[in-house]
Chain A
Amino acid sequence: MVADSASPETCRPRTPTTTEGAAARAAALADVALADVALADVALADVVVLSPPGLAALANALIGDGYRLVGPTVRSEAVVLEELESADELPWGWDVDADAGRYRLRRRADRAVFAHAVGPQPWKRFLLPPASLLWRARRGESGFSVDPPEDPLPRYALFGVRSCDLAAIAVQDRVLATSAHPDSGYRGRRARSFVVAADCATPAGTCFCSSLGCGPAAAGGYDVALTEVVTGEEHLFLARAGSAAGDAVLPRLPSRPATPHDLDAARAVVGEAAQRMGRRLDPDGLPELLAAHREDPHWNEVAQRCLSCGNCTLVCPTCFCTTVVDATDVTGTVAERRRHWDSCFDLDFSYLHAGSVRASTSARYRHWISHKLGTWPEQFGTAGCVGCGRCITWCPVGIDITAEIAALRGGVPEGGGL
C-alpha cells in the first residue's frame, strides 16, 4: 500500500529560473528523460508479463482482497471512472479524439485497454468525494447528539492511474494528507488505497505531461505499474511492483518472465508517447512570467471568452477547494454539515464581508492560472499543474492553459524582461 507519508517524486518542479537562461529552457522542453528513466531504471528481473486474462486476474485478485475496484469504463460517450465488477467493464478497444472543448470516443482496430488517456473525472472523485456529509446531529430531550459516522472508509483499488494523475495525487497528498492540517477522510481513503498505474502509449490531443516531467510513464507512487504493449497479434502488459503490497500480488497472477525484447518494446511505447504529446507548456520561469503580467490587458481578452463556469477546476486533479454548508430539516431537530467541491471561478468563493474580492472574470482567471503555475510552487513545492489537459478538453469554450501562457510569452517585448 502506498504510505501517505511518502509522497512520490513523480513530478519534480522542473521550472528552471530565468537566470539559467535559454539553454536550460530548451533542454527542459526537449527533456523527456523522466519518462525514459522510469523504465530505464527497471530491471528485467523485476518485470513480469501479463496477458489480457492476467490483467483480469489482477482485477479479481484486488476484489478478492476486499478492495472496491475503481477504473475506466465507457458511459455517456466518454471513458469515465466508476466502480467496476470485473476487467470486462474496462474500455477495451477505445481511444479518444480530444481537443480544446471537444472530446469524442473512437473505436480502435485493436483491443488496447489503456489507450484513452484521461477522461472527464480526476481520481479525487473517490479520494476527496464531490459531496460528503461531515456530520449530522439530532436535538433530543436534553441537548443534542451527533450521529456516529455512517460507513467505515472505503478501500479503493484505483485501476489504471496515469502518471499525470499519480503526480496530482502526490500534490493532493501534500495538501490533504501530510500537511500540518490533514483531512482525516482523505488521509484514510488514501492510506487504504491500492494504486495500479498505467503508462501512457497514446497521449490525447490535450496532453502535455512530458513538458512538466510528469509522464508519460509512472515513476513512483504506485503499488503496481503496467505498460501495455499492443503489436499485431501481441497484447501484453508488463507489470512491475512499486510497494510491498504490489510485490505480494504479482506472484498470484498467471504471468511469464519478461524478455529483453518485451522491455525494449515497453520502453519504445513510452518513449514514443513522450514525443506525441498534443500540447506543450514551456515551464521556464512561470512564477516570474505571471508576476510580471499581473496587469496585462490579456486577462480582459480571456474574460471575453471565459464563462467563469468553474469546469476547469472541477475536472482538475490537483484542485482541492471545498466549501461547507449547514442545513436544518423542516422540523428543526436534525442538523447537517455537508461539504462539496468549490471553485475559485464562483463569485462567492472570494466573498468577504463587503463583497467578492475577485469580482471580475479576468481577476478570477488570472488568479486560477497564477495559482496553478505561479504561486503553487512557493506554497506547496511543486507546480499545481501536472499536464493532464482536462481543463482544456472540458472547458465548454476550449480555453487552453498552454495557449494562454504562450500568449503571455508572446506579449513580452523582444529582449525585454523575461
Chain B
Amino acid sequence: MALPKLAVWKFASCDGCQLSLLDCEDELLAVAGQVEIAHFLEASRERVPGPYDVSLVEGSITTRDDAHRIQKVRALSRTLVTIGACATSGGVQALRNVADVDEYRSIVYPHPEYVATLDRSTPIAQHVRVDHELRGCPINRVQLLELLAALLHGGRPPRTTASVCTECKLRDNVCVVVAHGTPCLGPVTAAGCGALCPSYHRGCYGCFGPVAAANTAAVAESLRECGMSEADVTRVFRTFNADAPAFRKEAELHDAQSQP
C-alpha cells in the first residue's frame, strides 16, 4: 500500500513552524516511515507532484501571487492543516493591518518600488477551507505529532478549548500574576504550549492566540494592575496574533486611550 503523501508549504513566515517538524528528532524517523514526504523544501529539494493526503501550511497571505498559490495548494490537498500564528491569524506581519503599508515600505526598503505586497496580511482560512489548525509562534511539536498520528491512523484529532491557565496549573506552576505581580495573557490565550512562559516565571504574551470568548477586557484590567501602561497593553495584544479579532479589538481600545 502506498504511503500517504505529506506536503509542507511556506507562505509569509519565518520557517520556525516547519522547523518544529525537523525538530521532532526522536519521532522524525517514525514519521518518515509512515508518510511519503512529497514536498518539504526545508528538508529536501525533491518534489513529488500532487495530489497530497496531508498539507501543512505555514505562513500568511501577503502577496497577490500567494493568494493564487494557496488556491492551488488547496486543490491539491485532501486535508489542509494550517500551522502557526502566521497561518492561523496573519502573524506578526499583520501589524501592517493597523498601519500604512506604503509608509512602512518607504522607510524600510531603499527601493520600495521593487516590493510587491498586499496592504494586509491575512490568515489562510480567509482564502481557502482549512481542516485543522495548530496555533503558536512557533507551534508545539507534540501537538503536531498528535495531530499527524490522528490523521494517519483515523483517530480523533485532539482538541481543547482550555486556556494556558489550565496547562499552567496542571504543570504545577505558581501563578505569576497572583504571586509575583507579573502581567500575563494566559487566561485569554489558547492552551497548547504547556504553559511554557509561566514555567520560567514569565507572563504569557499570547503567542497561541485568543481562546473562544476571551474576556480580554478583564485581562487588560489585570495587566494594568500589574503596572502596564495603556501603550504597553496595546502592544502586548499586538504581537504574534495582532489581527486575531479578540486581540485586535482590545488593542484598538487601549490604543485610543493611550493617544494624547
Give bound CA distance, A249 to B110, whole Å. Answer: 81
- Min CB distance A251 to B, Å, is 36
Interface 0/1 of B123-148, CB less than 8 Å to A: 00000000000000000000001101
Interface locus among B38-46, B67-75, B82-90, B211-219: B211-219
Known: A309-B163, A328-B150, A332-B152. A78 touches B213 (CB 8 A): no
Please report the C-alpha to C-alpha distance between residue A104 and residue B176 in the assembled complex, in whole angstroms. 11
Q: Is A311 an interface residue (CB 8 A)?
A: yes
A77 vs B217: C-alpha distance when bound (angstroms): 28
Q: In the complex, which residues of chain B have a beta carbon less than 8 angstroms from the beta carbon of A77?
A: 174, 179-180
Assess the B153–A311 pair: CB atoms within 8 A.
Answer: no
Residues of B near A315 (CB, < 8 A) are: 169
Which segment of B27-35, B51-59, B99-107 sits at the interface? Answer: B27-35
Q: How far is the CB of A77 from chain B (nearest CB, A)?
A: 5
Partner of B169, one of A75, A130, A330, A393: A130
Known A306-B215, A330-B149: A346·B158 in contact at CB below 8 Å: no
Q: Which residue of A lies closest to B217 (CB)?
A: A304
Whether A307 touches B31, Cβ cut-off 8 Å, given contacts A332-B149, A394-B178, is: no
- Chain A residues contacting B158 (CB-CB under 8 Å) are 325, 327
B236 CB to closest chain A CB (Å) equals 15
Please indicate the chain B residues that have their CB under 8 angstroms from the CB of A337 in the complex.
none
A194 vs B31: C-alpha distance in the bound complex, in angstroms? 46
Minimal Cβ-Cβ distance residue in A for B28 = A330
Q: Mark B17-30, 1 if CB is under 8 A from A, else 0.
A: 00000000001001
Which residues of A, 294-345, contact B by the 8 Å Cβ criterion? Answer: 303-311, 314-315, 325-332, 340-341, 343
- Report the minimum CB–CB distance from A308 to chain B (whole Å): 7
Q: How long is the Cα–Cα vector from A196 to B30 in the complex, in angstroms? A: 48
User: Which residues in B have their C-beta under 8 angstroms from that of A76?
Assistant: 173-174, 179, 201
B167 to chain A minimum Cβ distance, whole angstroms, is: 10
User: Do A308 and B177 contact each other (CB < 8 Å), given the known contacts A328-B150, A329-B149?
Assistant: no
Q: Decide: A331 near B169, CB < 8 A? Known: A305-B218, A306-B215, A396-B187.
A: no
Q: Is the interface of B mostly helix, strand, loop or mixed?
A: helix
Interface pair B165/A75, CB less than 8 Å apart:
no
| B215 A361 Cβ-Cβ under 8 A | yes
A102 within 8 Å of B by Cβ? yes
Contact A80 B174 (CB under 8 A): yes
| B186 on the A face (CB < 8 A) | yes
- Count: A-B pairs, CB below 8 Å: 132
Q: How far is the CB of B238 from chain A (nearest CB, A)?
A: 20
Give the chain A neighbours of B148 by CB distance below 8 A.
330
Q: Let me know if B34 and A396 touch, CB within 8 A.
A: no
Whether, in the assembled complex, B172 has its beta carbon less than 8 Å from a beta carbon of chain A, the answer is: yes
Among the listed A104, A327, A341, which residue makes an inter-chain contact with B149, where contact means beta carbons less than 8 Å apart? Answer: A327
Query: B112 within 8 Å of A by Cβ?
Result: no
Q: Residue of A at shortest CB range from B199?
A: A76
A394–B187 Cα distance when bound, in Å, is 12
Q: How far is the CA of A311 from the CA of B219 in the complex (A)?
A: 14
Write the nearest CB–CB distance from A340 to chain B, whole angstroms.
6
Q: Provide the B220-256 mask, 1 if CB < 8 A to any CB of A, else 0.
A: 0110000000000000000000000000000000000
A343 to B177 alpha-carbon distance, docked (Å): 20
Candidates A104, A328, A332, A341; contact of B179 at CB < 8 Å = A104
Residue of B at shortest CB range from A395? Answer: B178
With A and B bound together, what is the CA distance between A121 and B219 in angstroms?
23
Contacts of A308 in B (CB 8 A): 163, 213, 215
* Minimum C-beta distance from B228 to chain A (A): 14
The CA-CA distance from A76 to B176 in the complex, in Å, is 9
Given contacts A305-B218, A314-B166, 18 further A-B contacts (CB under 8 A): A77-B174, A102-B181, A121-B172, A125-B172, A130-B172, A304-B218, A307-B165, A307-B187, A311-B165, A314-B169, A328-B150, A328-B155, A330-B31, A330-B34, A340-B170, A361-B213, A396-B222, A397-B218
Binding site for A on B (CB under 8 A): 27, 30-31, 33-34, 145-146, 148-150, 152-153, 155-156, 158-163, 165-166, 169-175, 177-181, 184, 186-188, 201, 212-213, 215, 217-219, 221-222
Could you jot down 14 A-B contacts, CB within 8 Å?
A75-B174, A80-B174, A307-B163, A307-B165, A309-B186, A314-B169, A327-B146, A330-B30, A331-B30, A332-B34, A341-B170, A343-B166, A346-B166, A395-B178
Q: Which 7 interchain pairs have the tightest Cβ spacing?
A: A314-B169, A307-B187, A76-B174, A309-B187, A332-B153, A309-B165, A347-B161
